[in-house]
Amino acid sequence: MAEIFVTNTDGLEEGAVKVIAVANEEIGVIRHKGQCYAYLNRCPHQGGPACVGVRMPKVETVLNDQQQFFGHRFSEEEDHIVCPWHGYEFNLANGRCIGDEAL
């Protein structure tokens, strides 16, 4: 895949999302925890603007010693982008869809 210049990230503040039109597509650039991530701003489910959705930690299931449900907690290591149209979640670090890695 060819590299293309999208934007200068020097002025992109922590937590900000900048959507840039490139050719016939939109690229979302996200600054999160000091890192910048760039993704196609189109959810593969039905084309929603995934990059402008909420960002939140992964929700993890907590099990007790007998492997019984004990509750939920937010991950300290993994953050997600949630598409605002239908709630599809994507790993912020690698872009993989949480519910269907084929997407």
95 torsion bin: left (phi>0), alpha (psi -120 to 50), beta (else): left
Q: What structural domains and CATH numbers belong to the chain?
A: 17-91 (2.102.10.10)
Q: Using one digit for the tens of pLDDT, what is the confidence trace for 19-76?
A: 999 888 999 999 999 999 999 999 999 999 999 999 999 999 999 999 999 999 999 9
Question: What does the block give as tokens for 12?
Answer: 């992109």
Spatial distance between the Cα atoms of 55 and 8, rounded to a whole number of angstroms: 22
Q: Using one digit for the tens of pLDDT, what is the confidence trace for 22-34?
A: 888 999 999 999 9
Global pTM reads 0.82
